[in-house]
A = this chain, B = another copy of it.
């Protein structure tokens, strides 16, 4: 049975302040927890129903993970999901440093103040799908360990390295270190379908409402845009959602690279 104190501690991890103080975050659902168990993240505790523990004893033992068996009523008390899953786990936060990573990148994403947790999680999932190993985030992006971000990654948080940093410094360093491009997603510029967009580079995605900040725009070496069908026939949406635009750009770059 869970103690009041345990419930209180798990609850506290809904708030950034307590996540930062304790260096821990929560993840829920079988796939997400299993993906994280197999990753570089260290497990702090697993809270699960009997059936889940029985079915996953091999993975639990191999990681030497502290397990607490709870019942459905207790799960309902600690879960943030509208339909609670059989497992909630607490992991330790890791904070990768940008220094070494950025220089050797061939193909990555940089996010300028992405604020919506759903977008952030979805972009990490897209990165994973398209083999983008590192995602750079400006310091004002929504926090990676926000439970809504964690859940929206659908497990990809276990594989993609997400680095918060001074994006201006990181991009400047990248430009100086080689001949990689910095592609900025705008509503004008070079169509992503242009055939010469095949050089390695960083794709910079702007904030959902403000777009790419003026500060970073100066560092962009190629402005790119996604043509709307309206260019030929009359579509009228003014823009695409940030994660949707990221997906279309990644898919097109990938198509050209293989």
Contact = CB atoms under 8 A, between A and B. Distances in A.
Interface of A: 31, 118, 122, 125-126, 128-132, 154-156, 159, 193, 226-230, 232-241, 243-244, 247-248, 251-252, 254-255, 258
Contacts of A31: 238
Nearest to A153: B237
A238 B129 CA distance: 8
A238 B240 CA distance: 24
Most central of A129, A226, A254 by chain B CB within 10 Å: A129
B240 A126 contact: yes
7 contacts: A128-B237, A130-B228, A131-B230, A131-B235, A154-B241, A240-B247, A243-B244
A131 B228 contact: yes
Contacts of A156: 236-237
A125 B228 contact: no
Contact of A244 (B227, B238, B244): B244
A130 B228 CA distance: 5
A228 B193 contact: no
Contacts of A240: 125-126, 129, 247
A182 to B, nearest CB: 20
A256 to B, nearest CB: 10
A174 to B, nearest CB: 20
A225 B226 CA distance: 21
A129 B247 contact: no
B226 A251 contact: yes
Nearest to A253: B229
Contacts of A230: 129, 131
A237 B155 contact: yes
B258 A228 contact: no
A29 to B, nearest CB: 11
A68 B118 CA distance: 35
Contacts of A118: 118
A131 B247 CA distance: 19
